[in-house]
Amino acid sequence: MARTGKRKEYEPIGDTSEPESLYFYLLRFIQHCKIINMSKNTIHSREIYLRRFIKWCDKRGLIKAQEITRPILERYQRHLFLTRKPDGSPLSVSGQLSYLNGIRAMFKWLTKQNYILYNPASDLDLPKATKRLPKHILTASDAETILNQPDTNTITGIRDRTIMEVLYSTGMRRMELVNLKTTDIDIDRGTVLVRHGKGDKDRMIPIGERAIGWIEKYLNQCRPELAIGMSENILFLNTYGEEIGLTWLSRIVRNYIDKANINKTGSCHLFRHTMATLMLENGADIRYIQAMLGHAKLDTTQIYTQVSIQKLKDIHTATHPAKNQISNQMPSETETKH
């Protein structure tokens, strides 16, 4: 298992001798984001996307913010559209939007600060975001099969089982799980405090008795063996006693899903989708699902009303006139032969 480490300090990019370069404006913009208390994850993501944009500009001799025009941004937008990942797949629409929204935010700020005279990104036509249904949803039986994959005779197996139990019980995001501290779990009340969720918002949510039981087992039997480094009360640790990494977490969960051989693919988010869908099918109000998932808008949660097909199927079976019995008017097999 690789060490997670801390986020690295980024190297300067572009022309560092030019005080009005995109690079120096980026540093000022990131400082502004910190001042207005934007979430660390958002700042981190924006810096990554903006650095890639600045590198693209630097290769084309575009150094200053004043040199960036709308046609140049449209060229970059086309570049994103044509970009292919290592596996040959294109950037998703949401991925393209992440790049472009960071650029729009920075140039809007540059204009407000009078660093540039006009905002070249103000009228940029963004790709239309599509709301896709989750590709796979686990049944309750599928979930149990996956949860039983770790070898719970080992320390790491108990940890991995506990991680997946928490994901399944709460539907929290992987970043939220990685950030959990031991003090965020209230075993007596059966709740967990999710700190710095999306939008840097905290929320208190319930967690099931079985997941609590696995957390107690992990805390009593495993975490003391793993806590050999500066863990800072982080709940889930790697074998170096450090906070687990997001990439590692996705990989380990995906491996257990593949090992379960249920002909479904996914990782941490698969448990999130599954929790929401199964709770909805079992009668939970969608507003409670919204609170569990930490969605700011109900519209985001309503996707699960489309995924939750079982109730609609039951109603269809009960009310559609062509149901259950085969019509007497259907031709027999012999009648259809010529």
- What is the per-residue pLDDT across 106-146, written as a single tens digit (0 to 9) for each? 999 999 999 999 999 998 999 887 766 667 788 999 999 99
Selecting among 23, 168, 218, 304, the annotated active-site residue is 304
198 is catalytic: yes
Letter for the amino acid at 50? L
Instruction: Determine whether 287 is an active site residue.
Output: no
What proportions of the chain, in percent to the nearest 5, are helix, strand and coil? 55, 5, 40
Cα–Cα distance list, 334 to 141, 327, 328 (Å)? 41, 16, 15
Alpha-helix residue ranges (DSSP H) falling in 116-263:
140-147, 155-170, 174-178, 209-221, 223-226, 246-260
pTM (2 d.p.): 0.71
C-alpha–C-alpha distance, residues 155 and 57, integer Å: 49
Between CA 254 and CA 76 the distance in angstroms is 33
Residue 231: predicted pLDDT: 65
60 assigned to active site: no
Contact 216, 143 (CB under 8 A): no
pLDDT score, position 2: 41
Residue position matching structure tokens 């969608």: 286
Of the candidates 108, 136, 264, 295, the residue annotated as catalytic is 295
Q: What is the DSSP letter of 64?
A: B
Single out the catalytic residue among 70, 136, 269, 288: 269
Provide the pLDDT for residue 173: 92
The structure tokens listed for 32 are 């502004």
Those residues with Cβ within 8 angstroms of residue 3's Cβ, 6 or more apart along the chain or in another chain: 238, 240, 242
Q: Which residues pair with 84 in a beta bridge?
A: 90
Q: Read off the tokens for 142.
A: 């599928």
Residue 167 one-letter amino acid: L
Question: What pLDDT, on the 0 to 100 scale, is given for residue 3?
Answer: 45
Residue 272 known to be catalytic: yes
189 labelled catalytic: no
Active-site residue identified among 173, 174, 223, 273: 173
> For this structure, is 304 an active site residue?
yes
Q: In the beta sheet, which residues pair with residue 192?
A: 185, 205
The residue type found at 73 is L
Active-site annotation holder among 46, 104, 223, 272:
272
What are the angstrom distances between the C-alpha of 272 and each of 148, 170, 278?
18, 8, 10
Per DSSP, the three-state class of 201 is coil
Q: What was the pLDDT predicted at 326? A: 52
Which pLDDT score, from 0 to 100, does residue 192 have? Answer: 94
pLDDT number for residue 6: 47
- Choosing from 198, 203, 217, 264, the catalytic residue is 198
Here the tokens at position 195 are 């700190």
User: Which domains are seen in the chain, by residue range?
Assistant: 22-112 (1.10.150), 140-316 (1.10.443.10)
Q: Which residues of the chain are under the pLDDT cut of 50?
A: 1-7, 327, 338
pLDDT number for residue 165? 97
- The pLDDT, as a whole number, for residue 223 is 94
